[in-house]
């Protein structure tokens, strides 16, 4: 039987990059330590707001990140509950990604894997998978007002491509990496603004157009174009991360 976790639930361990990340880190720490057990119900949004001194928007963004990481599940009209931990199959699982350098390393792995996944998806995709990709694509842009929604949609877009390959190992790899495949989920707004001259809004527009190119190549079953579009997206993502890293004053990897 689940029980509601008592206040105070959220105690920041260190200064977070942004407010939502602070909530995410606090909840994650409690889950990893076993203080929050599977089936436990998180406090109401209003309670989290008061406990952590943040707005409702920040709380909802944090919950979206936790959902995408597979740590909690929200049952509409009931509440948000802690999920049972899933066994990690890779040493590069999402929990092992702690820095921009880690994210750049993950991108190198993805460039090797996802370009070929896009090629295979373009040759093997079904009409239903094309429709699912289109829905995820539209959600990336329509969720601009809620960063967590947009990030979740982008993650789903890449997972759908993996599924369209018909090879479950592509799916396993991206699932294990979790939100590490979406670097902007780990960046503060100031870093995103620095990464693209036009700021966060222009960044999302560019990301949308890059994913649109991938989508259309897969839709028309053009494997070479799909591979090229995926590589362009990941290379551009790497450059955006390098700019964000430069903002922190950390040296970019060679």
Least trusted range by pLDDT, from 32-41, 96-105, 170-179: 96-105
Return the pLDDT at 64: 82
pLDDT tens-digit map of 10-21: 444 444 457 888
**219-224 mean pLDDT:** 97
Stretch 21-25: mean pLDDT, rounded? 87
Arithmetic mean of pLDDT over the chain: 80
CATH of domain 94-247: 1.20.120.530
pLDDT single digits (tens) 179-206: 777 776 666 666 665 555 555 557 778 8
Checking if the pLDDT of 87 tops 80, the result is no
Q: Closest Cα partner for 75 from 26, 46, 29, 41? A: 41
CATH 2.120.10.30 fits 19-82, yes or no: no
The answer for residues whose C-beta is within 8 angstroms of residue 169's C-beta and 6 or more apart is none
Q: 130: pLDDT confidence band, cut at 50, 70 and 90?
A: very high
* Mean pLDDT confidence for 231-249: 80
User: Cα–Cα distance between 220 and 197 in angstroms, integer?
Assistant: 32
**pLDDT score at 252:** 40
Intervals of CATH 1.20.120.530 along the chain:
94-247
Radius of gyration from C-alpha coordinates of the chain: 18
Q: Report the percent of the chain where pLDDT is more than 70.
A: 74
Distance CA 1, CA 39 (A): 7
231-251 mean pLDDT:
76
Rounded distance, CA 1 to CA 155, Å? 32
Q: Is the pLDDT of residue 227 over 80?
A: yes
Beta bridge partners of 75: 79
Q: For the residues of 89-146, what is the DSSP string, one character each? A: --TT-GGG--SHHHHHHHHHHHHHHHHHHHHHHHHH--HHHHHHHHHHHHHHHHTTTS
Q: What is the pLDDT of residue 90?
A: 53
pLDDT bin (cut points 50, 70, 90) of residue 76 is confident
Q: Which pLDDT value is given to residue 181?
A: 76
Task: Please tell me the number of Cα atoms within 13 Å of 251 on its side-chain side.
Answer: 2
For residue 177, the model assigns a pLDDT of 81
pLDDT at 254: 36
- List pLDDT tens digits, range 200-214: 557 778 888 999 999
Confidence of residue 75 (pLDDT cuts 50, 70, 90): confident
**Has residue 92 got a pLDDT over 70?**
no
Where along the chain do the CATH 1.10.10.10 domains lie?
19-82
């Amino acid at each position: 039987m689940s029980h509601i976790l008592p206040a105070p639930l959220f105690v920041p361990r260190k200064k977070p990059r942004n407010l939502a990340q602070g909530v995410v880190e606090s909840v994650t720490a409690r889950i990893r330590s076993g203080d929050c057990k599977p089936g436990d119900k998180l406090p109401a949004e209003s309670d989290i707001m008061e406990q952590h001194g943040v707005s409702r928007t920040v709380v909802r963004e944090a919950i979206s990140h936790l959902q995408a990481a597979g740590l909690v599940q929200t049952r509409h009209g009931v509440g948000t509950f802690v999920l049972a931990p899933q066994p990690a199959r890779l040493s590069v699982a999402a929990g092992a990604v702690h820095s921009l350098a880690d994210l750049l390393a993950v991108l190198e792995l993805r460039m090797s894997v996802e370009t070929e996944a896009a090629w295979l998806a373009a040759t093997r995709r079904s009409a239903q998978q094309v429709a699912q990709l289109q829905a995820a694509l539209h959600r990336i842009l329509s969720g601009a007002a809620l960063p967590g929604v947009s990030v979740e949609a982008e993650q789903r877009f890449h997972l759908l491509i993996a599924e369209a390959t018909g090879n479950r190992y592509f799916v396993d790899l991206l699932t294990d990496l979790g939100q590490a495949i979406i670097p902007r989920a780990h960046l503060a707004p100031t870093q995103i603004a620095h990464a693209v001259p036009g700021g966060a809004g222009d960044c999302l527009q560019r990301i949308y157009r890059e994913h649109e190119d991938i989508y259309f190549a897969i839709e028309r079953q053009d494997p070479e174009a799909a591979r090229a579009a995926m590589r362009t997206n990941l290379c551009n993502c790497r450059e955006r991360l390098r700019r964000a890293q430069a903002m922190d004053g950390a040296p970019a990897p060679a």
